[in-house]
Every structure is written in structure tokens, then in C-alpha cells.
Structure 1
Amino acid sequence: MQPKSLLLIDDDLELTELLTEYLSPQEYSIDVAHDGKTGLTMATSAKHFDLILLDVMLPVMDGFEVLKKLRQTDLTPVLMLTAKGDDFDRIFGLEMGADDYLPKPFNPRELSARIKAIVRRIDHLANNQQQLVLSTAELVLNPTNQTLQCNTHPIELTGTEFGILHILMSHCGNLVSKQQLSEQVLGRKLAAFDRSIDMHVSNLRKKIGQYSENEKIKTVRGSGYIFTESLV
């Protein structure tokens, strides 16, 4: 099996060495950058990365600026490494298009589990390209090439956003809990006060709202979400 290619952008030399030693035997190929500018250059080079691990506090260019510039041209999954207890960093990163976050300090096993969850999602989509296109009067969601159109306008989605919308549309008219979305898309249980799913849904609403005035995702407070339009 071809090793999955990871890009680790972090200025902590000891941590990057530890993670490289820990993850390499798990069939990951790891490239490392120790500042944001170098990391962005590597991330946007010709080399393909399956996942980017991106620290927030970086020299030269911080992690948010790296993510902002990356998302202008690239939808590679990004796992943000944030300061423990800093809710602003987590929410801001998710708003800017990060797929998930992990607060420092963390157990390497927890990081490995997060990476595996994202990789599984990528492989699942790649191996299930014959899934049916999901369409409403305004939306067309195509699992084959992971694209979304709203009233013929193409909308770029991150892998996490695509996964959430696919589940919601597949269960149109029915409540899908935040816990279910977190487990199926992020590969982890939803922790108390975790707003990850809320932020991804908010991003979806903003993107779709550029081309449609009709609210398509209803919030059921304290429970989850319902995709309100019928499939055609």
C-alpha cells in the first residue's frame, strides 16, 4: 500500500522529530517545515499531500495566514494544532476552512487517531465514486468528483464540508444528530462544548447562501440538523 503523504508545519523541533519517529512506522511519509512561509511553499508545490498538520503559532507567517492563502487554491485536508483551551483559535481555524483541530499538548495516539479518521474519509470517497448524484431544485452534489453546484454555480467545499452535506442530503427531511455527523465525518465522538460541526455547517450555509436565498439546513437546537429540501 502506498504510504499516505503528510506535511507537518510546526516550529517545535523536538515535537516534529518525535511525531516523525512515531508516525513513520504507521506507513506515513512525512515532510516537515518549521515556519509558515516554507510550509505554504511546500503545500502548494507540485508534490501531493494527503493531509497537512498545521500549527497556529509559527514564525514568518502564522498558521491562520498559511491556511487563508492555502484555501485560495487548495482543498487538501488541514488538521490545525492549537493552544490548549484557546477557543478563538479553534473557531477561527474552522471558519477559515480547517477540517479539524487538536489542542496542544496532545497524546501522539490521539493525533494518530485523528489522522486515520481523515485518511479513512478520503479513501472511502475515493473507493465509492459510483455513489448517486444527489439533487434538489437548486443543488447538485456529485460524490464522484466531490463537487457542489447551486443554481449552476460551482461551490468549492472542503472534504469535511462535503461529507457533512452528503450525509444531510442523504437523510433529507430527517434529523441527523451532531454526534452522528462528528463520528461519521470527523471520526470521533463530539466532546462537550465542541463547536466543530456547528462551524462546518455555518460555512456550508454561507457558501450556499451566495447563490440561494432559501435556507436548506435547519438547526434543531440541542440535537442536530435537518436538510429541508426534497431530492429530485
Structure 2
Amino acid sequence: MTTTTPYSVYLVDDEANLLQLLKSYLQNAGFDVKAFENGEQVVQALDQDPPPHLWILDIMLPDIDGYELLRLIRNKYDVPIIFISARDQDMDKIIGLELGSDDYLAKPFLPRELVIRAQKLLQRTYEKATTASAATVNGHGMAAGSGTPQFQDWVTIGPYMISEKGRLVKETASDQPIELTTKEFDLIMYLINNQGQALHREQILAAVWGDDYIGSDRAVDDLVKRIRKKMPGFPLETVYGFGYRMSP
């Protein structure tokens, strides 16, 4: 996604007064904010709108809960998501992180805290990514000023071409790129670098989410499902009762 100024934020909460208050704070901070009061409005936006830079998503909604909306968003594109909730804080945080949220804020909170978290998450996601991308273009095998990836580390895995340096995957036959989230690509590279090995879910959690991850290994199964949906020809096997393995 091309970063623009101001950042666009989609805000979802069924409490009308809180929704307007948070929208006002975010707008005053320089964000372009679009507000939604229910899940149906979110679904319509997913079908029609281009993606925002950030979703701020309440879990408790009158029609479609935030967990399901998070799944729908993640199936469409990979943008940062902040979960907000007044329910069981620990459980909501764990489930939200497992499903792919990037941050969690428990109600009640100060609107200014949400603004600060949004600013930091957007900077971490887009501004650092832009710097890293520029360094890659000029220092790792892609010609400066060229729009065509010229990386030297392309490998063929089944019907796909994969470049770790470019963090790119494309179908060999059509030369079309496959859009993957950060964690989806990280898992693919971890499997490639450990071909033939049976990898326990805990190993995958540590490699992809980090040693400080708190949550169940269901996050691994959800990630594998998404990869299989996007890349059905990738040789990813289930080792029942243990984890996963990439065929050598």
C-alpha cells in the first residue's frame, strides 16, 4: 500500500457518543477518519472501499462481533488493527493477538492514549517499512529506479517463485504476485529454511511470533490455513499431533 498523508483510519464502535469522541481526537491528531457503528457497515466498506492505513475495532458490536470482522479484514488485506474492548481483558487480548490484531486497548481508556498508540503503530508499520524498502532497492539486488524486481535469490517451490530479499511470492506460470501478510511470509521462509523437518507448533510460534508471545498454538493453525488458501500448491504437510513440515 502506498503511504499518504494524512493516514486514513477506520474506527468501529457501537457507542455513538464514544465513537464521535474518539473520531474527534483522531481527526485533531491529523488522521483522516471514517466511523462505523456496526459490523454490516464494515462488511460493506470491505467490499467497496480501498483499504485504510489502520483499523480500530471494537469487539462488542450488535450484529457481527469484532473477532469475525478481524477475520474478514485479514482475508482482504494486511493492515494494522487495534482491538478495543470492555470485556474479559486477558482473554480478549489473547484471542485478538491470535487472530492477527497488532495492539489491544481495554475500556475505559483515555482518548489521548488511543491516539498515541495509533501514531506509534502507524510509524512502526509504514515509516520504517518505507526506509527499509528504500535500502533494499539500493542495496540488495534491485536496480534503483527500476520497477521490476531483479533479486538474485529467487527460488522455485512447486508452482511458485519466492524471493526472501524482496519478500515477494509470485506464481511462476502467470508471473502474478501473491499478496501475503508479514507472518504468512515469515512462516513460509521458516519452512523453506527447514525443509523436510517436522516443526512443532511451539517452534513455529517462537520463530514467527517471538519468544515473548502469549497465547495458544491455534494461531499457527490459522496461519497455515491462510497460506494453504492463497498458495494451494505449496508443499506444506500436517504432522498430526505435532506440527507441520515442508516437503523437501
Give the TM-score of the pair, scaled to structure 2.
Answer: 0.59
Contact map agreement 1:77 1:158 (CA 8 A) in 2: no
The alignment's C-alpha RMSD in Å is 4.4
Please say if 1:18 is aligned against 2:28: no
**Corresponding position: 1:76 with 2:99:** no
1:109 aligns with: 112
The answer to which structure, 1 or 2, has the higher relative contact order (CA under 8 A, 6+ apart) is 1
Q: Following TM superposition, by how much is the alpha carbon of 1:75 offset from its aligned partner in structure 2, in angstroms?
A: 1.9
Q: Computing the radius of gyration over CA atoms, which structure comes out larger, 1 or 2?
A: 2
Cα shift readout 1:153-173 (whole Å, capped 9, x = no counterpart): x875435x37977xx98xx9x
For the pair 1:123 / 2:146, whether they are aligned, the reply is no
Residues 135 and 141 in structure 1, CA contact (< 8 A), matched pair in contact too: yes
Report matched runs for 1:85-164 at 5 Å: 85-119=88-122, 120-130=124-134, 131=136, 132=140, 140=162, 142=164, 147=168, 157-159=180-182, 161=183
Between Structure 1 and Structure 2, the one with more strand by share is 1
The corresponding residue for 1:54 is 57
Conserved? CA contact 1:83–1:89, under 8 Å: no
Following superposition, the deviation at residue 136 of structure 1 comes to 8.6
Query: What SS does the corresponding residue of 2:14 show, helix, strand or coil?
Result: coil
With over 3 angstroms needed to count, the CA separation of the structure-2 counterparts of 1:101 and 1:78, relative to structure 1, is same
Match for residue 11 of structure 2? 8
* 1:66 CA drift (Å): 1.4
Where does residue 228 of structure 1 map in the other structure? none
Gaps of 5+ in 2: 141-150, 194-205, 238-248
Instruction: Supply the distance in 2 between the matched residues of 1:112 and 1:143 (Cα, whole angstroms).
Output: 34
Q: Which one is further off, 45-54 or 75-84?
A: 75-84
- Which amino acid in structure 2 is aligned with residue 52 of structure 1? W
Contact 2:53 2:79 survives alignment (8 Å):
yes
The one-letter code sitting in structure 2 at the alignment partner of 1:87 is D
1:61-99 per-position Cα deviation (integer Å, ceiling 9, x unaligned)? 111121222222222222111235433322222232222
Given that residues 80 and 125 in structure 2 are in contact (C-alpha distance below 8 angstroms), is that contact kept between their aligned partners in structure 1?
A: no
CA change 1:135–1:99 in 2 (3 A) is: farther
> Size of the alignment, in residue pairs?
203
Matched residues in 1 for 2:28 and 2:95: separation?
Answer: 33
Structure 2 CA distance for aligned equivalents of residues 71 and 208 of structure 1:
12
Amino acid at match of 2:10: L
Code of the residue aligned with 1:42 in structure 2: it is A
1:62–1:136 CA distance, 2 compared to 1 (3 A) = same
